[in-house]
Amino acid sequence: MIKFTLIENSLDSIEQGLKFLQTAESEECISAYKHSLLCLFQGAELVLKEALVLIDPITIFDKNSLFKHCSSPLAPTMEELYKCKSIDIRGITQELKKHYSDIFTRANIKVLEKLAIERNKVQHFAIEISPKELNDKLLELYLLVIKPAFKIIQSKSYDVGVNGISNDEITERISKFEESFLTIKIGDGFYIGMCPKCTEYHHFIIYDGESYPTYTYCTSCDYELKDIDPCDYQICPECSWPSLIYDKNSEAGVCLVNKCYYGKEGGFVEMEPCSTCTGYEIEGSCSDCSPEEE
Ligand SMILES: [Zn+2]
Ligand SMILES: [Zn+2]
Ligand SMILES: [Zn+2]
């Protein structure tokens, strides 16, 4: 069996890259930006290779090289693979277009290609890009290349014995990356609560300059609340804040206060559109129809 440690190596590089980016931003340090670019790009390269290995390990090796070094190129041995050349960014983008064209669209691929040029510049030449521009590009790399690759990884099963890392550990690290990314991008304009769907504490609730959360998403599962309208907030029966959103897909309410019982451990609130008025029945009663019950 062929074992790879791509996933762990990629997570380590991404962690390093995000740390450098935080330092770069807070200390306006050019060399930290350079290191951030090198680490994040390497992390992206490795996590994309991991996504391709999940299809077939040989996808990440140069075809000529496989034919040259392996007695049966479609089923190489580990020893043979050590001698083979792996594909470069060009090869990676080609394989992504072939196998994951629904996830990696032209826009995503373009971000990777542009950053590849910047990475080469940093390696061989003096860097001329402004810190602000580089910061934006690195955040874009995270958002449009690394995060989609994480989604692919998280949909597969990992085992400590076989892969050296479990799904839980991967998910935990990804959640930490998301926290670093958001801190760099929007400062303290977010907080984390319990996801009502998967019950992990990976439900990112985003304010970003508004006085109420405008959208949320979970990094462990696909749960999200998009484009929340401030008019949609109802009073939560537990914490009494106007923080309760009716989630049509789940046919239940979600309180977005992370200190509230529901946001912390309760999960979904029993809630449905009221059968007689335009309001909601929350935990069995509608305050518009029967206010005296309050
Ligand atoms: Zn979740
Ligand atoms: Zn509440
Ligand atoms: Zn009613």
Q: Are 250 and 241 in contact (CB under 8 A)?
A: no
Indicate if the pLDDT at residue 293 is higher than 60: no
Average pLDDT over residues 282-294: 77
Helix, strand, coil content of the chain in percent (nearest 5)? 50, 10, 35
Q: Tell whether the model's pLDDT for residue 292 goes beyond 60.
A: no
Q: Domain spans of the chain?
A: 6-186, 190-293
Whether the pLDDT of residue 294 is over 60: the answer is: no
State percent of the chain over pLDDT 90. 76
250: Cα separation from own chain's centroid = 22
Contact between residue 243 and residue 258 where contact means Cβ atoms under 8 Å apart: no
Residue 287 Cα to ligand 3 middle (Å):
7
Q: Which one of the ligands is nearest to 235 CA?
A: 2
What distances in angstroms separate CA 277 from CA 78, 171, 174, 281, one per listed residue?
67, 42, 43, 9
Distance 87 CA to ligand 2 centre (A): 51
| Mean of all residue pLDDT scores within the chain | 92
User: Phi-psi region for residue 208, left (φ > 0), alpha (ψ -120 to 50) or beta?
Assistant: left
Cβ 129 vs Cβ 115: under 8 Å: no
- The model's confidence at residue 187, banded by pLDDT at 50, 70 and 90, is very high
Mean pLDDT score, 70-89? 90
Q: Distance from the CA of 31 to the center of ligand 1, in angstroms?
A: 37
Going from the Cα of 291 to the center of ligand 3, the distance in angstroms, rounded, reads: 9
In angstroms, what CA-CA distances link 6 with 11, 39, 42? Answer: 9, 14, 11
How many whole angstroms from 147 Cα to the centroid of ligand 2?
30
The CA 218 to ligand 2 mean position distance, Å, reads 18
Planar angle of CA 153, 252, 193, nearest 5 degrees: 50
Residue 102 is predicted with a pLDDT of: 96
Q: If you measure from the C-alpha of residue 289 to the centroid of ligand 3, how many angstroms do you get, rounded to a whole number?
A: 4
- What are the DSSP calls for 256-274, one per residue? --TTSHIIIII-SBPEEE-
| Residue 192 alpha carbon to ligand 2 centre in Å | 14
CA 294 to chain centre: 41
Say whether pLDDT at 132 is over 60: yes
Alpha-carbon span 193 to 197, nearest angstrom: 12
Half-sphere exposure of 209 (CA within 13 A, CB side): 2
Cross-strand partners of 245: 254
Report whether pLDDT(74) > 80.
yes
Give the Å distance between the CA of 268 and the centre of ligand 3.
20
- Nearest ligand to the CA of 244 is 2
Dump pLDDT digits (tens) for 242-268. 999 999 999 999 999 989 999 999 999
The band of 121, judged by pLDDT with boundaries at 50, 70 and 90, is confident
Q: Residue 282's pLDDT is what?
A: 95
For residue 1, what pLDDT is reported?
A: 60
Ligand that lies nearest to the alpha carbon of residue 243, given by its number in the listed order: 2
Decide: helix, strand or coil at residue 247: strand
Question: CA 291, CA 245: separation in Å to the nearest integer?
Answer: 20
Side chain identity at residue 122, one-letter code: V
Strand partners, 216: 205, 225
pLDDT at 98 over 70: yes
Q: What's the 279 CA to ligand 3 centre distance in angstroms?
A: 5
According to the model, what pLDDT value does residue 173 have? Answer: 96
Query: CB within 5 A of ion ligand 1: which residues?
Result: 195, 197-198, 218, 220-221, 223
Tokens of 217: 């998403």
List pLDDT tens digits, range 161-180: 888 899 999 999 999 999 99
Output the CA 99–ligand 1 centroid distance in Å: 26
Region 57-79: mean pLDDT is: 90
Binned at pLDDT 50, 70 and 90, residue 126 comes out as confident
Task: Please state which of the ranges 20-34, 167-181, 234-248 shows the lowest mean pLDDT.
Answer: 20-34
CB 115 within 8 A of CB 41: yes
pLDDT at 2: 64
Query: Please, which residues bridge with residue 246 across strands?
Result: 253
The whole-model pTM stands at 0.90
How far, rounded to the nearest angstrom, does the alpha carbon of residue 30 sit from its chain's CA centroid? 26
Residues 6 or more apart whose CB falls under 8 angstroms from that of 101 comprise: none
Mean pLDDT on 17-24: 95
Mean pLDDT, residues 37-55: 96
Q: For residue 56, how far is its CA from the centre of ligand 2 (angstroms)? A: 47
Percent of the chain's residues with pLDDT above 70: 98
The H or E element containing residue 204 is strand 203-206
Cα(220) to centroid of ligand 1, in Å? Answer: 5
